[in-house]
Copies of this chain bind each other. A is one copy, B any other.
C-alpha cells in the first residue's frame, strides 16, 4: 500500500467515525425526546440530520476519489467499498432517528399511556451495536462484529414484547390506539437501527473472512 493511499484511508476512517458519532448523537436525542416527552429535543434533531446528510455525501466523494486516484485492489478495494456501504447504512440510521423524534413529538403533546416499555434497554443496545459495529470495521475485529450480531436477537425480543404490551392496552382501551401505534413505530424504527448495525457487522465479517454471513439462517455464526 502506498503512503498516500494509507493516508487517505486513515482520513476516510476518521470521517466515518465522525459520522458514527453524529448518528449516535441524533439517536440519543430522539430517544431522550421520546422518553422525557421533550419537544425541544425532537425539533433539534433535524439540524443534526442535515449535517449527517452532508457528511454522507462527503464520505462517498472521498471514497470515489480514493478509488479513482489510487485504484486499490484486494483488501483495500473491499475496505473502501465496505466504507461506502456502511456510510449509507449510517445515513439511514439518521433518517430512522428522525422518524423516532417525530413520533416523540406527537406523543409529547398527548397524554402518556402509562405502560412500562423498555425503550431504555432497547436504545442502550442499539447504541452499543452502532458503536461496536463501527469499531469492528475500523479495527477489522470479527469477534466484536459477532457480538453485535448476538445483541440483535435481544433487540428483536424487546420489540416483540413492546408489540404485545401495546396490543393489550389498545384492546383494553381503544382511545389509546393512535398513541400506541406511534409507540409501535418508534420501537420498530429503533429495531431497524439495530438491524442496520447488524448489516455493518456482517459486512465486517465478510471483509475479513471473505464469508458472506448476511444471508445465512439467523442462528448461524452468531456466537
- List A residues at the B interface (Cβ < 8 Å): 50, 53-54, 56-57, 60, 63-64, 67-68, 71, 73-74, 77-78, 81, 84-85, 88, 163, 167, 170-171, 174, 177-178, 181, 184, 212, 214-215
From B68, B73, B184, B215, A77 is in contact (CB under 8 Å) with: B68
With a cutoff of 8 Å between Cβ atoms, the chain B residues found around residue A77 in the complex are 64, 67-68
Q: B174–A57 contact, CB under 8 A?
A: no
From B67, B78, B167, A177 is in contact (CB under 8 Å) with: B167
How many subunits of this chain does the assembly comprise? Answer: 2
User: Knowing A167-B177, A167-B181, A171-B174 touch, does A68 contact B74 (C-beta < 8 A)?
Assistant: yes
Per the bound structure, the CA–CA distance linking A88 and B85 in Å amounts to 9
With a cutoff of 8 Å between Cβ atoms, the chain B residues found around residue A177 in the complex are 167, 170-171, 177
Besides A60-B81, A177-B177, 11 other CB < 8 A contacts? A54-B215, A64-B78, A67-B67, A67-B77, A68-B73, A68-B74, A85-B88, A167-B178, A170-B177, A174-B174, A181-B184
With a cutoff of 8 Å between Cβ atoms, the chain B residues found around residue A215 in the complex are 50, 53-54, 56-57
Per the bound structure, the CA–CA distance linking A183 and B54 in Å amounts to 36
